[in-house]
Amino acid sequence: MAGHTCIIWAVNMNDLSPDLGLKFGFSQRLIEAARDQSRVKGLTHEFYRYPARFSPSFVRGAIEAFTRPGDWVVDPFVGGGTTLVEAMAMGRNALGIDISSLSSFLCEAKTQILSDQDVSVFERWMERIDGTINMHSPSERHDAYADAGYYRNLDGPEFWRLRKAIEQAVSSVERLRRKRTHVLARCAVLKTAQWALDSRKTRPSVKAFKAQMFKQAGLMLKAALEFRDQVNGLDLAVPPRAISLNRTTAGAERVKAVADICPPKLIVTSPPYPGIHVLYHRWQVDGRKEAPAPFWIAGKLDGAGLSYYTLGDRKNPGLQTYFDNLKSTFTSVAAMAGDETTVVQMVAFSKPEWQLPKYLEVMEDCGLEECCPWEGALDDEDGRLWRDVPNRRWHAHQKAHAPGAREVVLIHRKARL
Ligand SMILES: C[S@@+](CC[C@H](N)C(=O)[O-])C[C@H]1O[C@@H](n2cnc3c(N)ncnc32)[C@H](O)[C@@H]1O
């Protein structure tokens, strides 16, 4: 990492005033949290397997270190909503932004607080699953989605049973008029369909699909209630809330909902990684054929192709579009930040030797100054916190110690003029 060694934070951590939101011992706890390799679980985190989602314990560590209850936390690339769930569970308010409408759907599903009435309507829907999915009943083809291409790679005869089961399940959800129940039930169908189709070689039977959906719906209801208890048990004068915006982060500081809550105490995020291929918006069916079905099932519209979701085409020379888009989004991130905002990122690189320095240059151009608060606590020679990535689908093709198999935690503050 020639020429880019992390500058140790200019202050002694123990001397920091509580006004900066930092707490004694935070650095050790954050290091442990960032390196925690346990599976993503708990609360509503398992509602969907969002690609490249970060570990809840890392986000929790950052929230604990840099914020207090009632503060605002922003995630400008919120993906599956991990930050929003953790923030609310800890009594912080959270705003998430993502260019993917699938992300907004998941954020809503994971952070809504169910009423008892929502729960009973959901339980009644669950009881009907067995009769709803029935191969002898007529198909309920969703023509608008089918005509717009959302059935791609699921249109073949080998998929007809599962396709019909999903169509029937989605139609049953669409008959639910109660908003939160509808969202939770839709998410249960989405999760089950992901289990049935995404990255697997064999297809389950309709019977197994039905059983799985009943099981998932039950687990998700339990998780949603655990989340509700956690949030209600915080005993705060004003309950925490989450907002999610479906748009690009570039220019988002000018949106009223964003401007109203800025500057937040913490911006914690994991943007698309340079040069690393992650399919945020597709499932891979039958030997890696890409299917846009998650948008159809979530009742959303897909924005565009892969490069739309990854900040640019990874084949572009020098990743120029990636770094241009990184700059336009992080210019807005810097505009959202104030003097007391800490910006924490988790990033991986396909070729760290040139991409990390370039990445840091972009941060600097955006007016963000790197800090490394880990004095003496790390043995990584560049002074940054690195972690091995647990066995994730998106890097499975890489060798165990290939560069993309490591992630780094970057911490920035707004540069003082
Ligand atoms: C690595 S994922 C975030 C995962 C998230 N940390 C989680 O735990 O689920 C990166 C996200 O950035 C989003 N994204 C890409 N370009 C964007 C842009 N210009 N503005 C906002 N979000 C964007 C993608 O849709 C994707 O969801």
Testing ligand 1's pocket by substitution, the residue of 44, 47, 57, 99 carrying the most ligand atoms inside 8 A of its CB is 99
pLDDT class of 6 with cuts at 50, 70, 90: low
What Rg value do the Cα atoms of the chain yield, rounded? 22
265-281 pLDDT, tens digit each = 999 999 999 998 899 99
**pTM greater than the 0.75 cutoff:** yes
Whole-angstrom distance, CA of residue 188 vs CA of residue 192: 6
Question: What is the average per-residue pLDDT within 353-368?
Answer: 97
Instruction: Report CA-CA distances (Å) from 384 to 11, 169, 217, 255, 407.
Output: 17, 48, 41, 34, 10
* Paired sense of beta strands 289-291 and 283-285, if any: antiparallel
Assess whether pLDDT exceeds 90 at residue 374.
no
- Closest residue CA from atom 7 of ligand 1: 53
Residue (of 323, 331, 338) closest to 367 by Cα position: 331
Residue 277: what pLDDT?
84
pLDDT class of 83 with cuts at 50, 70, 90: very high
Residue 143 CA to ligand 1 center (angstroms) comes to 30
252-265 pLDDT, tens digit each = 999 999 999 999 99
Residue 77 CA to ligand 1 center (angstroms) comes to 4
Whole-angstrom distance, CA of residue 259 vs CA of residue 263: 8
Residue 375: what pLDDT?
65
188-206 pLDDT, tens digit each = 999 999 999 999 889 999 9
Torsion of the alpha carbons at 44, 47, 50 and 55, rounded to the nearest 10 = 30
Residue 7: what pLDDT?
57
Assess whether pLDDT exceeds 90 at residue 160.
yes
Residue 98 Cβ < 6 Å to ligand 1: yes
Question: What is the average per-residue pLDDT within 51-69?
Answer: 93
Residue (of 45, 69, 111, 60) closest to 243 by Cα position: 111
Whole-angstrom distance, CA of residue 210 vs CA of residue 159: 15
Residue 25: what pLDDT?
65
Query: Counting atoms of ligand 1 from 1, which one is nearest the CA of 75?
Result: 6
Q: What is the percent of the chain with per-residue pLDDT over 70, rounded to a whole number?
A: 89
Question: What is the average per-residue pLDDT within 48-77?
Answer: 94
Residue 224 CA to ligand 1 center (angstroms) comes to 23
Residue 103 Cβ < 6 Å to ligand 1: yes
Residues 6+ apart with CB under 8 A from 210: 129, 130, 133, 165
Residue 311 CA to ligand 1 center (angstroms) comes to 9
- Closest residue CA from atom 2 of ligand 1: 79
Residue 395: what pLDDT?
46
Residue 391: what pLDDT?
59
308-321 pLDDT, tens digit each = 999 998 888 889 99
Residue 355: what pLDDT?
96
Residue 270 Cβ < 6 Å to ligand 1: yes
119 in Cβ contact with 225 (< 8 Å): yes
Whole-angstrom distance, CA of residue 6 vs CA of residue 34: 18
Query: Which ranges in 69-159 belong to alpha helices (H)?
Result: 82-89, 101-111, 116-132, 143-147
Residue 242: what pLDDT?
98
Q: What is the percent of the chain with per-residue pLDDT over 90, rounded to a whole number?
A: 74
Residue 307 CA to ligand 1 center (angstroms) comes to 12
Question: What is the average per-residue pLDDT within 102-131?
Answer: 98
392 in Cβ contact with 30 (< 8 Å): no
Whole-angstrom distance, CA of residue 135 vs CA of residue 154: 17
Residue 347 CA to ligand 1 center (angstroms) comes to 12
The full set of domain ranges for the chain reads 13-105+242-293+302-414, 116-230
Assess whether pLDDT exceeds 90 at residue 330.
yes
pLDDT class of 82 with cuts at 50, 70, 90: very high
Q: CA 416: distance to chain centroid? A: 31
Residue 272 Cβ < 6 Å to ligand 1: yes
Residue 98 CA to ligand 1 center (angstroms) comes to 6
For the record, the structure tokens of 259 come out as 């401007």
Residue (of 296, 292, 330) closest to 311 by Cα position: 330
Most confident of 28-37, 83-92, 406-415: 83-92
For 13-105+242-293+302-414, CATH number out of 1.20.1250.20, 3.40.50.150, 3.30.70.360, 3.40.50.720 equals 3.40.50.150
Assess whether pLDDT exceeds 80 at residue 403.
no
- Closest residue CA from atom 20 of ligand 1: 248
Question: What is the average per-residue pLDDT within 28-49?
Answer: 88
Residue 217: what pLDDT?
98
Of 118 and 286, which is predicted with more confidence? 118
